[in-house]
Amino acid sequence: MTTLRIATRSSQLARWQANRIADLLRNGQEIEVELVFISTQGDEHRDVPIHSLGGIGVFVKEVQQAVIDQRADIAVHSAKDLPSTTATGLILAAIPERADVRDVLIGSRLDDIRDGGVVATGSVRRRTQLRALRPDLQFAELRGNIDTRIQRAKDFDAIVLAAAGLDRLGRAETIAQRLDVDAMMPQVGQGALAVECRSDDSATIERLLKIDNVKHHRCVDAERAFLAGIGGGCDAPVGAYATMHGDEFSLDAIIANTSGVIHRVHTTGNEPAVVGSAAATTLLRFAGAT
């Protein structure tokens, strides 16, 4: 019987995600699974804001390296943590499912937060969009695992988290409000699970293809194409969400300029890369505008 080693972070949510992939792989396949726990830069510097550590990628690089070094066979991530470009030697082989893509408020609904209230979130994307909805709000940093953040909600008027993690860990009862994507555009890949393996490991790729959800995968591909088109040198707040209707993709995306003004675009088409790139091309000219 084949044993697959899954590289994953050791947080409660990361364990849930890795075990979910393990269960999917075991279903109908003669596979044993072993979890290989990896500490990342983001885990080791919990007192430093994510954007100060470099933003996207701080929770995945060490996990990916374990697969590249053959200490593990596959890596499981939250797709929103992945950089737009797949690491050399790896392939994004499967995106098996996608949960609720929305962000949520814990502690209070948006309209019920007092004037000048403090909302805790380390995400520049979230802060920018909340400020556009409520210019009076103040913001504070928030790091830690989901339970730690929930416990800290009492210290602020509200905190912001992703719905998917709360739903997966059975913490949905803590949610005061799920924010519609029209008001709060999610991060690229939010809600999706992503599974990588070595690009030359054909046997593992074949096994992972059996748990891939093609529709979800292609939608995330469109969002990642948008992020790639924006480019690693752009530190402006961005967000994107793609859906698929028949053979056509529909992608909504945002970027904020240096004054915090949010620009939006809607693109459609039949190829994920084309749809994502078109959205990036349209929005890039706004990135440095004042």
* Residues with a known catalytic role: 81
Classify 180 as helix, strand or coil.
coil
**How far is it, in rounded angstroms, from Cα 209 to Cα 40?**
27
**How far is it, in rounded angstroms, from Cα 219 to Cα 98?**
10
Return the residue matching tokens 């007092």. Answer: 114
| Residues 57-78: b if buried by 16+ CB within 10 A, e if exposed | bbbbbbbbbbbbeeebbbbbbb
**How far is it, in rounded angstroms, from Cα 172 to Cα 239?**
23
**How far is it, in rounded angstroms, from Cα 103 to Cα 107?**
13
Q: Phi/psi at 245 (nearest 5 deg)?
A: -130, 105
Residues 6+ apart with CB under 8 A from 64: 7, 75, 87, 90, 196
